[in-house]
A and B are shown apart, each in its own frame.
Chain A
Amino acid sequence: MLVLSVIGEGLIQAGKLLITGDPEMLEITWRTLQVSGTATLISVILGVPLGVVLALRKFIGRWLLISIINFGMGLPPVVVGLVTWIFLTRYGPLGSLGLLYTPTAMIIAQVIIAFPIVAGFTVAAIQAINPKMYFQILALGANRWQLLWLMLREARLGLLAAVIAGFGGVISEVGASIMVGGNIKGLTRVLTTAISLDVSKGEFELATALSVILLLLTFVITAVLTGYQQHRRQPQ
């Protein structure tokens, strides 16, 4: 009964926060979107070209690099947070940049989490295209950049899956964000770290409300991406 009560209270509170447009909730939600959106964008910019090269080019150590990328797809966020913290702490190699406990530090940690996911999905998406398509596009007279563009276009459903998986991986993580962001109110607090804090304070209703908002946010974004992905792929 207690559980149902907490969930019920949480849902009511979530409704209130959304209807009244609670400023703190809006600020935390906006920061969540900024941090995870930027991290996903950077991961796509870095991960897609790497995935294409790994899928299409032969070179020594390629399989090792793909293995590392695949290993990276399952990196525990808390370990990523710890390593990033070691690098960014005052006495660390990048300590002089003064990035620890800033949104930038959170973005760096989230990129480390999302980048292998995007790259790994890209490798799979490009390799799923018929290998002869490479020759067909060249035979149509494509130069290197046209070849790349047409291959990416053919793999776009898989690439959208890469974006969805990368975004889903970072918007839901808490370990790295809390470690390098510090969960500072008004500066680095995002939905997941706020939920974690509310649970530790025993404010389960508020934690449930923020969880509902996080789930709604994640669902809306992934639904938009999935809708775009699937609208041309109706079953025959």
Chain B
Amino acid sequence: MIDQNGITGQVLLEARDLLLVLEKREIFNIAQFTLNAGEVVALVGPNGAGKTSLLLTLALLQHPTGGSIYFNGTCSTRENILELRRRMAVVFQEPLLMDTTVLNNVLIGLRIRGVPAPVARKRAEEWLERLGIAHLKGRSALRLSGGEAQRVNLARAFVLNPHLLFLDEPFSALDYPTRRSLLVEISNILRDTRITTLFVTHDYPEIPFLADTVRVMLAGRIIKSGSVAAVLGEDAAVPRQIPAPWNSASS
């Protein structure tokens, strides 16, 4: 079966025997990790569990010490890594915007891919509009509030029309009202686009808003996996009014 994005089959990303050792320390050792097409997976666990390292490795940004990563059935190699990477997008906790205008930041990934300028600009403006930051397009990206900067960061990722999206605690540095509104907006976007997403978070209340399934990571291993209800419990699996103040301690 081939869908509109050219994605075949059910499994979009599969990692086998994935091992990462940095400075003689084992960061993670995972026999198998899969992401099904259209699925939004929350990856949770304490600090130091290896979540971000796993995300970087699955996003083909960090070379694993061992194991293989298959994207849509194709094993990633030195030769095809750029092509595969260009079908993914990553949103980090920090916005990491370039020292240029908001619009140029959103255009960077499209320019890198050689998308014609008028097409790129139209797509960028559409996403700026959708994320409510169209009025900021001419402003320097280094003069934005935390919430505005993270919206630019999200627009920069969504504009690439990725087959696979990685979100690395994108809301954790934001204040409560900004977090709440962004969470709802991202939830709507993911529901509309059905982009396969791996979502790293510390905050359990975020999970039911975005995720279909949850993987729990501890000391470099996936120790639990299943639906939100199965992992968090029936009660916690229902999206509800986000408690305020909302922080890691409350979760």
Contacts and interface: CB of A to CB of B under 8 A. Distances in A.
B61 A138 contact: yes
A140 B56 contact: no
Contacts of A146: 112
Contacts of B96: 130, 132-133, 136
Contact of A130 (B85, B94, B108, B160): B94
A232 B140 CA distance: 9
B113 interface: yes
Interface residues of A, number: 18
A141 interface: yes
A141 B86 CA distance: 5
Contact of B56 (A135, A142, A143): A135
A139 interface: yes
Contacts of A130: 94, 96
Looking at chain B's contact residues, the main secondary structure is mixed
Among A139, A156, A232, A236, max chain B CB count under 10 A is at: A139
A150 interface: yes
A150 B86 contact: no
Contacts of B109: 140-141
A27 interface: no
Given A133-B96, A136-B90, A154-B98, A141 B61 contact: no
A154 B104 CA distance: 13
Interface of B: 56, 59, 61-62, 82, 85-86, 88-90, 92, 94, 96, 98-99, 108-109, 112-113, 140, 143, 156, 160, 166
Contact of B88 (A135, A139, A150, A232): A139
A232 B99 contact: yes
22 contacts: A132-B92, A132-B94, A132-B96, A135-B62, A136-B92, A136-B96, A139-B61, A139-B85, A140-B108, A140-B109, A140-B112, A140-B156, A140-B160, A141-B160, A143-B82, A143-B112, A150-B98, A150-B108, A153-B99, A154-B98, A154-B99, A236-B143
B196 to A, nearest CB: 16
Contacts of A139: 59, 61, 85, 88-90, 166
Interface string A124-166: 0000001011011011111100100010011010000000000
A133 B96 CA distance: 6
B60 to A, nearest CB: 8
Contacts of B166: 139
A217 to B, nearest CB: 30
A138 B62 CA distance: 10
A112 B145 CA distance: 45
Nearest to A140: B109
B82 A135 contact: no
Contacts of B62: 135
Contacts of A142: 112
A141 B81 CA distance: 10
A68 to B, nearest CB: 25
A158 to B, nearest CB: 11
Contacts of B88: 139
Interface in A88-110: none
Interface in A180-236: 232, 236
Given A135-B61, A141-B112, 14 more contacts: A130-B96, A132-B92, A132-B94, A133-B96, A139-B85, A140-B89, A140-B112, A140-B156, A140-B160, A143-B82, A146-B112, A150-B108, A153-B98, A153-B99
Nearest to B89: A139
Nearest to B94: A132
Q: Which 10 A-B pairs have the closest CB atoms?
A: A139-B90, A141-B86, A140-B109, A136-B96, A141-B112, A135-B61, A142-B112, A138-B61, A146-B112, A133-B96
